[in-house]
Structure 1
Amino acid sequence: MSLWKCPSCSNMLLLNNKVWACDNGHSYDVAKEGYVNLLLAQHKNSKQPGDNKQMVNGRRAFLEQGFYQPLADAISTIFTQHLETLKDQTQLSFFDAGCGEGYYMDQVSQSCQQADVHIEFSGLDISKFAVQKAAKKYPKNHFSVASTYQLPLANHSQDAVLQIFAPSSELEILRVLKSNGIWITVNPAANHLFEFKQALYDKPAEHKMENVTPQGFVQIEQLNLSFVMQLTEPQQRENLLMMTPYYWSATQEKKQKLVANLEQFTTDFNIRVFQPE
């Protein structure tokens, strides 16, 4: 089986007895949870980059309660519609760049269960804690610890790349996508979680959306998804807060006040779909 590319020399890795290895002798063991760590020490910006264990647990608890189900459904619809254009192919690939604990990839996978085609689902995240949790719960999918700026994938190998609130290299996305592949991006729109800003800042401002089309791509679809959530339990509100940058920027006093008092939250997602030119 060949899926990942060696982060040391860029040769393809082959899996043999739970070890991914390339022709140049570089090897990477499969962890007990089923993932492989392809993040080289020199590519780390800290000892444990990415979300910590508490944040990962909070996000899984929040997402599995279905609060962002409309977003998962929208992404799944985009990909299943794309499948209709690929009916002549028997094997496809879907990659989640910044997969977290694997929720959205699993949602897309479930939506494709009736499709008469084999789809290989894989993803990476820079957080080891997130990838451990993803690999353990979704053993049919493939996960690695790696950077979205250095995707350990072969050129033109992916039919779809998903990117939700995660930074990346546009050149890397372009490199790994097939010529007819799609890149689905999800970013905050103007009023996403505006209640947080109202609670935390004296002069809250709308989020500034960037609608520039990345070089090398054409935009084929854009949609705005917005809905209101009622979070009646303080733990639900804290879990949501941990999924945002506000968790780090706000004072402890303001965070405690927010978690104690706010119950209604407005989501506002900007979903865009691109294809290589």
Structure 2
Amino acid sequence: MPSWICPSCSNVLSLNNHIWACSNGHSYDVAKEGYVNLLLVQHKNSKQPGDNKQMVNGRRAFLALGFYQPLADAISYIFNQHLATITHESAVSFFDAGCGEGYYMAQVSQYCNQTDLQIEFSGLDISKFAVQKAAKKYSNNHYAVASTFQLPLENNSQDAVLQIFAPSSELEIHRVLKSSGIWITVNPAANHLFEFKQALYDKPTEHKAEQVTPQEFELSQQLNINFVMQLTEPEQRENLLMMTPYYWSATAEKKQMLVDNLQQFTTDFDIRVYVKT
């Protein structure tokens, strides 16, 4: 079972009759889709934080067509490499901090289904709509609605934490990772979706990736994944646009021009693997 802790008192949660409860009497019902909501009202920054239904549905439709498969394969390979170093444990924990509708964690779990190790896959997202989608489709994995800045996980409980285009607390990642665990981050590299910038700005500039290694971590691996996509259908282009900040910054007119006219898109991902020091 996942290593959930109570968001109210940080005590360990135990599952009994579809209710997660701690020794202090705090309890959280399992939703019909199979996830648990561990996001306290006072930790919400809006009534429905995170991606809305339209954005979640757009991302699922886009990713389901395999456009980002090379990225999913790279992440899966990195975790599989790490599994080869784990020889002293019978069970392994993989956590997706900002899991969205569950695509990447599902890809990793499928990639690793040949191993003899028992692997527990769990993740969270602040968007209830995203977690509902994830839990319903990928019922073998475990999901919670929660914030990446307050991970409802036990200390030193995870062998790997994945973080894709999601903000988080470095201290929280450090707290929940085992001493031998890895933190896999994915962020936009210099030319990621540069076509969007060219269409929106008079003087588009390359994205500058963060170069500072988080405190109490050491960079053990860094790689770049880039490829060109041909999106022939307007719906595909609109779904990709909804996955980016440009969806909110562009005017309705410019967004429609993007959807109508652009067909070729450059991806550029910066993948880094950190270990605790």
TM-score by length of 1: 0.99
Aligned to 1:105: 105
Q: Say yes or no: does 1:31 pair with 2:31.
A: yes
1:115 and 2:88 correspond: no
Distance 1:2 1:226, change over 3 A: closer
Q: CA deviation at 1:2?
A: 5.8
2:3 is paired with a residue whose SS is strand
Query: Deviation digits for residues 72-131 of structure 1, max 9, x if unmatched?
Result: 000000000000000232100000000000000000000111000100000000000000
Paired residue for 1:52? 52
Q: Supply the AA of the counterpart residue of 2:87.
A: K
Q: Which residue of 1 aligns with 2:225?
A: 225
Corresponding position of 1:205: 205
Q: Does 1:245 align with 2:245?
A: yes
Gaps of 5+ in 2: none
CA contact (8 A) 1:183 1:275 kept: yes
User: 1:157-194 CA distances to partner (integer Å, 9 max, x unpaired)?
Assistant: 00000000000000000000000000000000000000
Q: Is the 8 A contact 1:165 1:187 kept in 2?
A: yes
Matches within 5 A, 1:142-161: 142-161=142-161
Q: Who is 2:8 aligned against?
A: 8
Match of 2:63 in 1: 63
1:74 aligned partner, one-letter code: A
User: How many residues end up aligned between the 2 structures?
Assistant: 277
Q: What secondary structure sits across from 1:182 in the alignment? A: strand
Residue equivalent to 2:139 = 139
Q: Distance in 1 between matches of 2:172 and 2:89?
A: 24
Percent identity over the alignment? 80
TM-score by length of 2: 0.99
1:61 Cα shift?
A: 0.4
Q: Given that residues 2 and 13 in structure 1 are in contact (C-alpha distance below 8 angstroms), is that contact kept between their aligned partners in structure 2?
A: no
RMSD of the alignment, in Å?
0.6
Task: Give the letter aligned to residue 6 of structure 1.
Answer: C
Structure 1 stretch displaced more, 82-91 or 127-136: 82-91
Moved >3 Å (runs of 4+): none
